[in-house]
């Protein structure tokens, strides 16, 4: 969906022009704020989502991810000047808001603070929340940017709190725009500036804002798994050997809505160093969400912040693996992040499962591939927490060899018979000539 809207900002005499791009698994916003003379004074384009952990009435914890902001409003956004700061203010849903403040100096401007408010009284987003209230999280950024430079950060950035993780990516912003003209000079964030490969564009993206995974398997927003799945060790390189097979599931309320069984082996190339990491299912937490058109399975451990598998429905009658996102710490202390939301793997009819017992490779990017072993997944239409009939991958399907072998055998037999017949005819003809 693309929509344009002109909205007056109360009490400022400014005009706000914004473009909202809706997507299945992420939400992009582009903001052009103009002053009373209709000159551009503040520009921002970014994507964001929020992962929130909250306590329920039965003393357990649930985690939700808000990625669809609906139709936001921007009341309170201001251009600012030499005496007053600039601000982007976004409101969405009942009691949800997000604000970023900018301050100006002689030769630079700063992204100063970011505030996020959420309403646990919204039952659709926070079912069974113990407390019904609006909570506000304040984060101090203090990132200084040269005046008349546009700040760019395609890489994933996060602000973490005890109960809230804010994700930002694809960020382009310029406050205190000079002479109404957007700058062509870019000031890159550290991750974009030091990246030796294409910067990851999308972080963990969860299809909806109302996830209700099982409380015994839901990791906290800081990616520490719940007590029942606490990791015991960091994943270690294992260039040889088949990984252990793990069983994972996602619940929607009390019903299981996604099943996955697989051994996972990560192939990573970072800073020209290749490594192979086997996922230990006994040291891996998992959570996720299920919706009519999309489903998410998220894995995490002490080294893996998130490894997301996002499934989607196509043509109303089949499902497939559409998206994989990962962010993890490597042995050298660096962070490896890659995302791809344009995949097409594990295709099967709705109402069935997909199975591939032999080793299969999911190529996420040139720097990241996943080898799967003894794979079976069903992200939709799970009944009684059991797999439905499986569609096997072509690697497992040996039935095609049977008609080939049978055909080859028959062809060989026919050739032998024809040759024998011709030889017999030749001998008969030779005998006739002798007589």
- Can you give the pLDDT at residue 65? 87
Q: What is the mean pLDDT of residues 36-54?
A: 91
* pLDDT band per the 50, 70, 90 thresholds, residue 103: very high
- Can you give the pLDDT at residue 161? 82
- Can you give the pLDDT at residue 206? 38
Residue 12 has pLDDT above 50, yes or no: no
Written as six digits, the tokens of 394 are 């072509």
Average pLDDT across the chain, whole number: 78
- Can you give the pLDDT at residue 424? 62
Count the Cβ atoms, other than its own, within 10 Å of residue 298.
Answer: 29
% of the chain surpassing 90 pLDDT: 49
* pLDDT band per the 50, 70, 90 thresholds, residue 221: very low
3-class SS string, the chain: CEEEEEEEECCCCEEEEEEEEECCCCEEEEEEEECCCCCEEEEEEEEEEEEEEEEECCCCEEEEEECCCCCCECCCCECCCCCCCEEEEEEECCCEEEEEEEEECCCEEEEEEEEEEEECCCCCCCCCECCCCEEEEEEEEEEEEECCCEEEECCCEEEECCCEEEEEEEEEEEECCHHHCCCCCEEECHHHHHCCCCCCCCCCCCCCCCCCCCCCCCCCCCCCCCHHHCCCCCCCECCCCCCCEEEEEEEECCEEEEEEEEEEEEEEEECCEEEEEECCHHHCEEEEEECCCEEEEEEECCCEEEEEEEEEEECCCEEEEEEEEEEEECCCCCEEEEEECCCCEEEEECCCEEEECCCEEEEEECCEEEEEEEEEEECCCCECCECCCEEECCCCCCCCHHHHHHHHHHHHHHHHHHHHHHHHHHHHHHHHHHC
Q: What is the mean pLDDT of residues 59-83?
A: 88
What pTM was computed for the model? 0.45
* pLDDT band per the 50, 70, 90 thresholds, residue 127: very high
Q: Is the model more confident about 161 or about 24? A: 161
Residue 148 has pLDDT above 70, yes or no: yes
Residue 219 has pLDDT above 50, yes or no: no
Tell me if 214 sits within 8 A of 251, measured CB to CB: yes
Largest CA distance in the chain: 125
The torsion angles phi and psi of 48, rounded to 5 degrees, stand at -160, 155
- Can you give the pLDDT at residue 418? 58
Query: Residue 51 burial (CB < 10 Å; 0-12/13-18/19+)?
Result: buried
Tens digits of per-residue pLDDT, 360-403? 999 999 899 999 999 999 999 999 999 999 988 876 554 433 44
Tens digits of per-residue pLDDT, 233-259? 334 444 458 899 999 999 988 899 999
* pLDDT band per the 50, 70, 90 thresholds, residue 426: low
* pLDDT band per the 50, 70, 90 thresholds, residue 220: very low
Tens digits of per-residue pLDDT, 270-319? 888 889 999 999 999 999 999 999 999 999 998 999 999 999 999 889 99
How many Cα atoms occupy the beta-carbon half-sphere of 127 within 13 Å? 12
Q: Which residues contact 94 (CB under 8 A, 6 or more apart)?
A: 119, 121, 122
- Can you give the pLDDT at residue 222? 33
- Can you give the pLDDT at residue 420? 61
- Can you give the pLDDT at residue 273? 86
Q: Is the model more confident about 266 or about 399? A: 266
- Can you give the pLDDT at residue 29? 84
* pLDDT band per the 50, 70, 90 thresholds, residue 59: confident
- Can you give the pLDDT at residue 333? 82
% of the chain surpassing 70 pLDDT: 74
> Which has the minimum average pLDDT: 171-175, 282-286, 288-292, 329-333?
329-333
């Amino acid at each position: 969906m693309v929509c344009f809207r002109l909205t007056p900002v109360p009490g400022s005499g400014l005009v706000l022009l914004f473009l909202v791009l809706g997507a299945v698994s992420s939400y992009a916003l582009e903001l052009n704020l103009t002053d009373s003379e209709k000159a551009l004074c503040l520009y921002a384009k970014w994507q964001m989502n929020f992962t929130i952990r909250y306590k329920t009435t039965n003393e357990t914890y649930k985690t939700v991810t808000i990625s669809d902001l609906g139709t936001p409003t921007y009341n309170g956004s201001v251009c600012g000047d030499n005496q007053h700061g600039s601000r982007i203010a976004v409101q969405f849903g009942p009691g949800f808001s997000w604000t970023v403040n900018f301050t100006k100096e002689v030769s630079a401007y700063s992204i100063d603070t970011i505030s996020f408010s959420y309403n646990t009284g919204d039952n659709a987003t926070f079912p069974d929340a113990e407390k019904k209230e609006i909570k506000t999280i304040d984060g101090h950024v203090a990132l200084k940017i040269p005046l008349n430079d546009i700040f760019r950060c395609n890489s994933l950035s996060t602000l973490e709190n005890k109960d809230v993780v804010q994700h930002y990516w694809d960020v382009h912003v310029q406050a205190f725009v000079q002479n109404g003209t957007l700058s062509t000079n870019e000031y890159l964030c550290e991750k974009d500036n030091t990246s030796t490969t294409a910067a990851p564009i999308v972080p963990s993206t969860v299809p909806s804002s109302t996830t209700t995974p099982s409380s015994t398997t839901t990791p906290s927003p800081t990616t520490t798994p719940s007590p029942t799945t606490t990791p015991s060790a960091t994943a270690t390189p294992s260039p040889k050997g088949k990984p252990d097979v793990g069983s994972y599931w996602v619940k929607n309320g009390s019903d299981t809505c996604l099943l996955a069984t697989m051994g996972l082996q990560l192939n990573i190339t970072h800073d020209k160093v290749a490594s192979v990491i086997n996922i230990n299912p006994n040291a891996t937490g998992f959570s996720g969400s299920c919706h009519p058109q999309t489903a998410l399975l998220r894995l995490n451990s002490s080294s893996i912040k998130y490894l997301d598998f996002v499934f989607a429905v196509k043509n109303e009658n089949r499902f497939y693996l559409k998206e994989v996102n990962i962010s993890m710490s490597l042995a050298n202390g660096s962070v490896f992040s890659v995302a791809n939301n344009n995949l097409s793997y594990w295709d099967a009819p709705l109402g069935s499962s997909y199975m591939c017992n032999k080793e299969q490779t999911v190529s996420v990017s040139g720097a990241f591939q996943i080898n799967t072993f003894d794979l079976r997944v069903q992200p939709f239409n799970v009944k009684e927490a059991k797999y439905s009939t499986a569609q096997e991958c072509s690697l497992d399907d040996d039935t095609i060899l049977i008609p080939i072998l049978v055909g080859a055998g028959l062809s060989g037999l026919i050739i032998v018979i024809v040759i024998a017949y011709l030889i017999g005819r030749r001998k008969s003809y030779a005998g006739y000539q002798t007589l």
